[in-house]
Amino acid sequence: MVFVRGTFRVILNVHSLNTEGAVGNYNPLTKAYLVGRSGNTWDIVEANVVSGNMLKHWHARSTAELAKSLGLALCDDCKRGVFYRTRLRVTSEEDMLKKCVIDDLHGFLCTETTVKRESLIKVSFIVPVEEKIFNVTTITHNRVVTEKTGAIAREGMMPFKSEYASGLYAFAIAMDLKYVGIPLANPTTPALSKDERIKRAKLAIQALGSILHGEIGAKQARAFPITKPVEAFVVISKKPIPAPIHAYYVDYAKESIKTYESLVTNGLIGKDDLEIHVYGIDIEANNVNVIKHDSLGSLVNALLKRIEEWLE
Ligand SMILES: [Zn+2]
């Protein structure tokens, strides 16, 4: 059994990962309101955000690329990066699990037969942290169309404006990897071998690595985010566990450690049934296993190793 719950802080500079669609020649970023602490009171601010849809899509995309490189099963749509409900006519969840890694990890719905699977991977929006370290700016771009003579065409100057944001952002991901390759509608009978299930579960962790390095949204061709992951807090467990407090909140690591300490102290989970892997966070804990990593690579490798050992 393996459950993974992670929350992260990442710097994304000069990105345009989630836009709202152009209004005339203006491309605004997606925005939402966030509640956070400001001194001793609560405050609400409008901030640019990247939607959970976007994050989930890009996790699926990275997973699909990795699956291709290993020759694992993918349906035709997922091979092309089209993560649809599914256009295949499937008569059982088990049938679909055999056909595609992505439909296994990210869920599907066949509207024709109503066979469905919930997503094993759940994500939050990506939002600027509670300390409000973000800003949005507008940059003017120009397209120029020339005639065959070299002259600029009449109406050939096409200025347009796009918003770009820079900030310290946070997001969270939960993965019920216990159920990889197992039909949720009939969880006593795995549809795949243990070997295949481990391979798939490992892909889900590896894809997280790509997300942390900025492969998470739109406009990457001309505004690939200038990214640096700065904090990672990942809990991997043999038993179902609550997610850590979201890294949006300034005190998330300390508060999360307290929660897991009390779970162990109260005997709700065995000390060796869970591990907390951290990067960029200096924290002490009693009664829970905290493993500090000096790189994200080391953290990801440790999780991959645990999946090999713990997935049943
Ligand atoms: Zn698929």
Using one digit for the tens of pLDDT, what is the confidence trace for 58-83? 999 999 999 999 999 999 999 999 98
Give the Cα separation of 135 and 132 in Å (integer).
9
Rounded mean pLDDT of 189-216? 92
Contact 16, 27 (CB under 8 A): yes
Q: Rounded to an integer, what is the distance from CA 173 to the centroid of its chain?
A: 6
Q: Which amino acid would we find at residue 142?
A: N
Specify the range with the lowest mean pLDDT, choosing from 94-103, 149-158, 251-260.
149-158
Per cent of the chain over pLDDT 70 is: 100
Ligand 1 midpoint to CA 126 (Å): 25
For ligand 1, a single-atom ion, which residues have Cβ within 5 Å? 75, 78, 100, 102-103
Average pLDDT for the chain: 94
User: Residue 220: what pLDDT?
Assistant: 83
Query: Over 90: is that where the pLDDT of 218 sits?
Result: no
Question: Measured on CA atoms in the order 71, 209, 311, 122, is the torsion positive or negative?
Answer: negative
Does residue 191 carry a pLDDT above 90? yes
Which one-letter DSSP state was computed for residue 271?
G
**Coil, strand, or helix at residue 95?**
helix
Domain ranges of the chain: 3-136+169-310
pLDDT at residue number 31: 95
- Max CA-CA distance within the chain? 80
Give residue 100 CA to ligand 1 midpoint distance, Å. Answer: 5
